Amino acid sequence: MQGVLENLRNMIYEQDKIRNMTVIAHVDHGKTTLTDLLIAKSGMLSDSKAGTALKTDTLKEEQERGISIKATSISLYHETYEEEKKEEEVVLVPKPHIIHLIDSPGHIEFSSEVTASLRVTDGALVVVDYIEGVCTQTEMVLRQALSEKVKPVLLINKMDKGIKSEHDVDRFYDQCTKIINEVNYIISEFIDEEEYKIDPALGNVAYGSGYFGWAFTIPDMVKRYGKGASSKALTLKETKSYHKFVVSSLIKLTNSITEENYDATKKMLAKINIEIKEKCWEEEHSSDLLKIILKKWLNAADCILNMCVEHLPSPVEAQKIRIATIFRGKRTEEQKESEGDLEEEKEGEGSSEETKGNVDDDYVIESMEKCDPNGPTMIFISKLFPLDQGLVAFGRIFSGTVKVGDKVKVFNGEDPKPQIKTIKKVGICMGKDVESVGGMPCGNTIVLGGVDQALRKEGTIMSEDTTANTFKSMKFSVSPVVEVAVRCVKPTDQPKLVAGLKKLSQTESMVKIETKESGETVVAGSGDLHVEICLKSLKEYAKCEIIASEPTVSYRETVVGECESVLAKSSNKLNRLWVSCEPIGEELCKEIEENELLKCKKDEIQKILKDKFEFDQNEYRKLWSFGVGDAEANCVSDKTVGAQHMKDIKGNVLSGFNGVILNGPLTGEKIRGVRFNITDTKVHSDPVHRGGSQVVPMTGKVFKGALLSAQPRLQEPMFLCTVKTQEALRGDVYTALGNRRGKIVSDEYSNESTIVVQAHLPVAESFGFAEYLRDETSGRAFPEFSFSHWETMASDPLEEGSMANEIVKAIRKRKNLPEEVPVVDKFIDRL
Ligand code: GDP
């Protein structure tokens, strides 16, 4: 172990020998088993434990549940062998490598962890179950990888299951080809470049069984069994015949060993050129003998690590391509070009705030693209995790070298104001341990101590004397739609709870913690399982007794109609505001929420609004603002004609607007998809009478009044629920989904007897659905959830007794709001 660590320490400086990779897969496809195997190979876990020890599943929770929740990083030392001519002889020379490997969770509710892992790695080992094929989560994480320009290699895993059940060699090849085609289809949707494609002839796909420890690639087999070296690319026919040769040998070996027909086995071994020690034949169980033989013949760890070293890029190669995708700054020339294009459309607006004063962007980009250890320090932090009672930051160093004692600028997220911190620890992540190193050069993943106080989750760290842009924030594909209210049992424990919540929000990428107007503190996550895990962590961090409510779902308030202008007066009766409202439409909501419209530069926003949403220039000029936070998908426009003092009251009106959209009149939930139009105002000429204390509450009232006048509705979050099961269970699955208000959206065969049913299922109905479905199908169907969309409920929340009305009342009760559902008259005034 000590020797291994020493080797690792030496390797961090050898940039072309470094690989940063994430193992991604659908839940249960065998990532963790495989990762253990790789760790065992590198000498950090004994061989006998691999497959069962699950070193990377370090959390107690994970071992109990048997799934990976938190992405864990571990660095491996691996030697590949290259042929070199020495004197007259060709010898195999070891070439050492360091592989920083992250085993990411496959469960959909933790996909924010996957996003964080992908950002700091350059390659992805995509693991796909041979029988189940490409599943929803495989597709989702692969898409995420590609959007970060992370290059994939593929392992078709659990092939042993096929060897047992399927003896038709051609069908094997067809099933593998089907998986490769599906993976390539997803890749082709993102990237044209051929080098990202999976091709058996090139050797960026391995076939194997993590559990039984064997795997092979076609070029490996060509090297070993090909007749004479050839520089020619393999034809499809040749590829197929090598695949067939290995699979049929595997089947024959398995059969002869299971039948204890050792003569036949020995003949087979001679044919494939494998010798094993004499005493191995004495193994008590034939399955052990099989394992020994297969490991010797087709060692999975060697095969997979070799494939990763050969086909995944080193940081030097990867950073050339990836920096433009993940860094916010642009080179001066690119900046000028894009400004030049937009200048014509702009109307005297100041230049983009984004790059102002970032004098070092050119220099920093060049250094990152070259992966220059002597350049300025640039580090992206993707998450924080607990270590020795405190928190440390985990990320990737893209440029420069960082040492203990360095003073650095720490930017929290995209916050432009940094804090100066001193680095207290620099280390390599080894599962739950961290191995300290004095300094870490670029190209490696990294653990840093001393910076956690300046970070909430993710951020950028740069040398103190560098003035450059930060990295782009990560885009998460899950939404925190399930929440619980928490409080401590003893009121005196409140400070402990607050400290625990802070730590939780730092360590969980997707959790949202909010204190509502009603005073309750809410922890929101992406599903009931995710929230449950968050609560467990919170209890550990806070070290006090905590009570949590049952999980509930967050709703949104919206409108489906338009209303005439309504009026509210300020409390001193000296100011009046008339406002109407209308829906902005689902397309624009999605443009804001999914495509992050508001992160674009002003000119780009204007162009998109004009091209896609028919906002002409006049309309755009009247647009005062979009919403904020989780209520971004709303806007407010000034549609007054000849009204006075509009500029003076704008700030306070916007404060009122932001207050309302975060706290809708019906439920106190956020507002979504509403456009408020200020149609007229009468404002007092004396600033004393039209200050914030008058204008903000007036705005709040009139906006709420307008919303309630335009056919208000609730929106509920919907999951896309995917169930893969046998055809015979179709009826049971349909009934279970139907009983929970699920709507089937697709139903397809994945093979002759297996179907994949997808349905939209209200998140509110998803609690306990997995157990319910399991009961209904005797454990043969299991649902997966991913956030799909917000769905407007048909029923009228203002109509007594309607479904929406009941939900409104239940939320009000839970939040200790007055029981009465508010009506328009409460908010508007008459002339
Ligand atoms: P993860 O959720 O992707 O990390 O999957 P795990 O590694 O936890 O494996 C899920 C289940 O599949 C466990 O029961 C493993 O024992 C089993 N498994 C993993 N790899 C293989 C394999 O190569 N062959 C077979 N037959 N089972 C496997």
Residue 57 has pLDDT above 60, yes or no: no
Residue with tokens 């009961």: 775
Same domain, 167 and 23: yes
Atom of ligand 1 nearest to the CA of 208: 23
Q: Whose CA is nearest to atom 6 of ligand 1?
A: 30
Same domain, 285 and 423: no
Q: State the CATH number of the domain containing residue 590.
A: 3.30.230.10
Confidence (pLDDT) at 1: 57
Indicate the number of domains in the chain: 5
Atom of ligand 1 nearest to the CA of 67: 2
Same domain, 13 and 35: yes
CA distance linking residue 760 with residue 737, whole number of Å = 9
Q: Whose CA is nearest to atom 2 of ligand 1?
A: 28
Confidence (pLDDT) at 287: 83
Calculate the alpha carbon distances from 784 to 306, 772, 778 in Å.
Answer: 33, 13, 17
Q: Quick one: the chain helix, strand, coil %, rounded to 5?
A: 40, 25, 35
Distance 57 CA to ligand 1 centre (A): 13
What average pLDDT score do residues 685-699 get? Answer: 92
pLDDT digits 0-9 by tens, 564-622: 999 999 999 999 999 999 999 999 999 998 888 888 888 889 999 999 998 888 888 89
Percentage, residues of the chain above pLDDT 90: 53
List all residues whose CB is within 6 A of at least one atom of ligand 1.
25, 27-33, 66-68, 106, 157-158, 160-161, 209-211
Q: Whose CA is nearest to atom 21 of ligand 1?
A: 211
The answer to whether position 135 is within a domain reads yes
Residue 582 · residue 559 · CB < 8 Å:
yes
Same domain, 700 and 742: no
Same domain, 93 and 119: yes
Atom of ligand 1 nearest to the CA of 210: 23
The answer to whether position 816 is within a domain reads no
Confidence (pLDDT) at 423: 96
Q: State the CATH number of the domain containing residue 515.
A: 3.30.70.870
Q: Which of residues 530, 554, 578 is at a domain's end?
A: 554
Same domain, 683 and 671: yes
Same domain, 724 and 760: yes
pLDDT-based confidence at residue 10 (cuts at 50, 70, 90): confident
What average pLDDT score do residues 187-201 get? Answer: 86
Atom of ligand 1 nearest to the CA of 157: 23
Q: H or E element: which one contains 464?
A: none
Mutate to test the pocket of ligand 1, among 28, 117, 298 (most ligand atoms within 8 A of CB): 28
The answer to whether position 474 is within a domain reads no
Q: Whose CA is nearest to atom 14 of ligand 1?
A: 28
Same domain, 271 and 213: yes
- Residue 288 CA neighbour count, 13 Å, CB half: 8
Range of the domain at 125: 2-311
Confidence (pLDDT) at 5: 80
The answer to whether position 411 is within a domain reads yes
Q: State the CATH number of the domain containing residue 744.
A: 3.30.70.240
- For the residues of 147-212, what is the DSSP string, one character each? HTTPEEEEEEE-HHHHHHH---HHHHHHHHHHHHHHHHHHHHHH---GGGS--TTTT-EEEEETTT
Same domain, 37 and 82: yes
Confidence (pLDDT) at 354: 43
Atom of ligand 1 nearest to the CA of 29: 3
Same domain, 546 and 566: no
Q: State the CATH number of the domain containing residue 258.
A: 3.40.50.300
**Would the pTM count as exceeding 0.95?**
no
Q: Whose CA is nearest to atom 24 of ligand 1?
A: 158
pLDDT digits 0-9 by tens, 764-804: 999 989 889 988 988 888 888 888 999 999 999 999 999 99
Q: How many other C-beta atoms can be found within 10 angstroms of the C-beta atom of residue 565?
A: 17
Confidence (pLDDT) at 822: 93
CA distance linking residue 545 with residue 535, whole number of Å = 11
Distance 147 CA to ligand 1 centre (A): 27
Q: Whose CA is nearest to atom 18 of ligand 1?
A: 30
The answer to whether position 813 is within a domain reads no
Distance 41 CA to ligand 1 centre (A): 18
pLDDT digits 0-9 by tens, 369-420: 999 999 999 999 988 888 887 889 999 999 999 999 999 999 998 788 999 9
The answer to whether position 412 is within a domain reads yes
The answer to whether position 306 is within a domain reads yes
pLDDT-based confidence at residue 46 (cuts at 50, 70, 90): very low
Q: Which of residues 554, 579, 596 is at a domain's end?
A: 554
pLDDT-based confidence at residue 231 (cuts at 50, 70, 90): low
Same domain, 303 and 246: yes
Q: Which of residues 522, 554, 586 is at a domain's end?
A: 554
Phi, psi dihedrals of residue 572, rounded to the nearest 5°: -85, 5
Same domain, 578 and 672: yes
The answer to whether position 82 is within a domain reads yes
Mutate to test the pocket of ligand 1, among 22, 32, 33, 68 (most ligand atoms within 8 A of CB): 33
Q: Whose CA is nearest to atom 11 of ligand 1?
A: 28
- Residue 180 CA neighbour count, 13 Å, CB half: 20
Residue with tokens 């590198």: 42
CA distance linking residue 151 with residue 475, whole number of Å = 18
Confidence (pLDDT) at 65: 44
Distance 61 CA to ligand 1 centre (A): 18
3-state secondary structure string across 43-67: CCCCCCCCCCCCCCCCCHHHHHHCC
Distance 129 CA to ligand 1 centre (A): 9
